[in-house]
Amino acid sequence: MNEILTQEKSIYLQISEMIENDILRDIILEEEKVPSTNELARVYAINPATAAKGINILVDDGVLYKKRGIGMFVATGAKEKIKKRRQTEFADKYIKTLLVEAESIGITKEELIRMIKQSV
């Protein structure tokens, strides 16, 4: 949770993504407690309601769950759930767009694969 909030997107979305990133990087493990909304509000100098909105996105997605009186915890299987959703988003946002653009300028899929391999 050492990331800096930006103006590029809503703060609550950034909070949600930061927690997801920490889960993906094994900084926060499954069944481990995540920072409270008050802790997030204090660290990032934001309203606790904004932090709660970011947390609630993850609860709604089944990534986090609440232990009454204790706090929010990472659900079992959360890391895999995040990876699958982000892979789908990646394919939709980048791969499909790339294929459409390549086709529009006459690059075949084979040429595109070759270009990608050369870029790595």
pLDDT at 114 over 90: yes
Nearest to 60 by CA among 43, 80, 44, 78: 78
Partners of 67 in the β-ladder: 71
The Cα 48–Cα 58 span in angstroms is 16
How large is the average pLDDT for residues 10-22?
Answer: 96
What pLDDT sits at residue 110?
93
Q: Indicate if 59 and 21 belong to the same structural domain.
A: yes
Number of domains in the chain: 2
What pLDDT sits at residue 120?
84
How far is C-alpha 18 from the geometric centre of its chain's CA atoms? 7
* No. of helices (H) and no. of strands (E), the chain: 6, 2
Q: What is the pLDDT of residues 49-96, one digit of tens each?
A: 999 999 999 999 999 999 999 999 999 999 999 999 999 999 999 999
Partners of 68 in the β-ladder: none
Band the pLDDT of 1: cuts 50, 70, 90.
Answer: low
Q: What is the pLDDT of residues 23-53, one digit of tens each?
A: 999 999 999 999 999 999 999 999 999 999 9
Q: Indicate if 83 and 57 belong to the same structural domain.
A: no
Q: Indicate if 31 and 51 belong to the same structural domain.
A: yes
Phi-psi region of 83 (alpha: psi -120 to 50; beta: other; left: phi over 0): alpha
Band the pLDDT of 111: cuts 50, 70, 90.
Answer: very high
- Domain that includes residue 32, residue range: 11-77
Does 84 map to a domain? yes
Q: Indicate if 61 and 104 belong to the same structural domain.
A: no
DSSP class of 69: T
